[in-house]
Amino acid sequence: MSKMRLRGFENASGQRHVSEDDRYLYRREEPRFRLVIIGTGTMGQEHMRVAALLGRARIHGIYDTQSLSMDTAEANFLSLQSQPLVRYNDLSSACNDPAADALLICTPNHTHFDVLRTAMQSNKPIFLEKPMATELQDAAEIVRANEAYESFIQIGLQYRYKPQYLEAFREALDNRALGQIKTVSVSEYRPPFLDKVDQWNKFARLSGGTLVEKCCHYFDLINLLAEARPQRVYASGGQAVNFVDFERNGVKSDIDDHAFVAIDYANGVRASFTLNMFCPDFAEELIVVGDAGRLKAEEYHDIHRSGSGNASLTIKLGENGLSKTSDLTYPRAIEQSGHHGSTYFEHIALMDRLEGKEVDSATPRQGMWAMVVASAAQQSLALGRPIDVDRFILDHDLASLLNR
């Protein structure tokens, strides 16, 4: 049985008089694994914080092509870990350090494929942030390479660990509380993309496009709930408000800021996704309806006021059974560590896998299917017509990989 953590006490100033010899509830286990973070921007630093909070691994080293990013990450990390960080001068050195147990790739989207190819030469376990690539052919190469890889690649689709979606999976898939699922609807309303180094997320050729970059999370959730192969995708959207006057090096931003996507699945499940990225706050909603009931999972966060976000799940079964509403939370320290605590539980899956345990983390093949839906939606949006997924797969020479 694992020991209960009392973070609110172990970190309190009034408890600092308790020496290490007298720490039992407050004692932290020695980290078992050493991690190297490749890419020390926003997500790289989030993974550093979460690793320190979880305590099962320590950050051994960091690498980034931008010295300011490494300087900032190192300065921000000083209060979280006493051991100094190794700073590598090049990617190969970061990947092949014999002292490192695993590599976390958190670089800009368009660099994922090339960085991963270098990282895989190490034969170390690899965590690769989403989206796994910006091009379908690169994603396919990653799936093929993973099948022959002597270690493993975990994809950073951490939304599946958000509390409201974990509970939705439990009720809809494990408990089958809704009966047979018929429709899935997901929406996200949020502010624009944040600033990034070189503003790569303002351009589709570098990010993969908004429906790939941002929304692969949601297509992963929808695929998991549908439990079938997507057959048809139709999308409508564009760039209405965000970055319409932004350009860099003479190139105008072309990133979509809103979209509506409809997806038909082979088993008859129909799904929809709504995105709006010119809102003053964050709101997500998932509605799943089966032949026995309806589930609604919600999350709301007002960035203009302090405090944590709110997540809840409601099940309405009518005469078929018990209806209920649940408030869902992780402990505050976990919730505030990044992405409402989902990155923390993603790290638990990574640590468990490093220990050789069976886990339900995102695989390259699942990441690939999320990209297929997202990329088909991007194409539909550009062409203004529905996309037949089987034809789309054939056109991209993916049938031999995805039809197995």
- Taking only the tens place, the pLDDT of each residue in 263-285 is 999 999 999 999 999 999 999 99
CA angle 350, 353, 354 (to 5 degrees): 85
User: Does the pLDDT value for residue 3 go beyond 80?
Assistant: no
Superfamily of domain 159-338+362-402: Dihydrodipicolinate Reductase; domain 2 (3.30.360.10)
Enumerate the CATH 3.30.360.10 domain ranges in the chain, comma separated: 159-338+362-402
User: Does the pLDDT value for residue 126 go beyond 80?
Assistant: yes
User: Does the pLDDT value for residue 2 go beyond 70?
Assistant: no
Say what the pLDDT of residue 12 is: 82
Say what the pLDDT of residue 1 is: 39
Q: State which fold the 7-157 domain adopts.
A: Rossmann fold (3.40.50)
CA angle 268, 270, 271 (to 5 degrees): 150
Q: Per-residue DSSP letters for 42-78?
A: HHHHHHHHHHHHH-SEEEEEEE-S-HHHHHHHHHHHT
User: Does the pLDDT value for residue 315 go beyond 60?
Assistant: yes
d(CA 382, CA 11): 52
Contact 175, 315 (CB under 8 A): no
d(CA 186, CA 288): 9
Query: Per-residue pLDDT tens for 29-58?
Result: 889 999 999 999 999 999 999 999 999 999
Tell me: cis bond preceding 131? Omega within 30 of 0 counts: yes
What's the pTM?
0.95
Enumerate the CATH 3.40.50.720 domain ranges in the chain, comma separated: 7-157
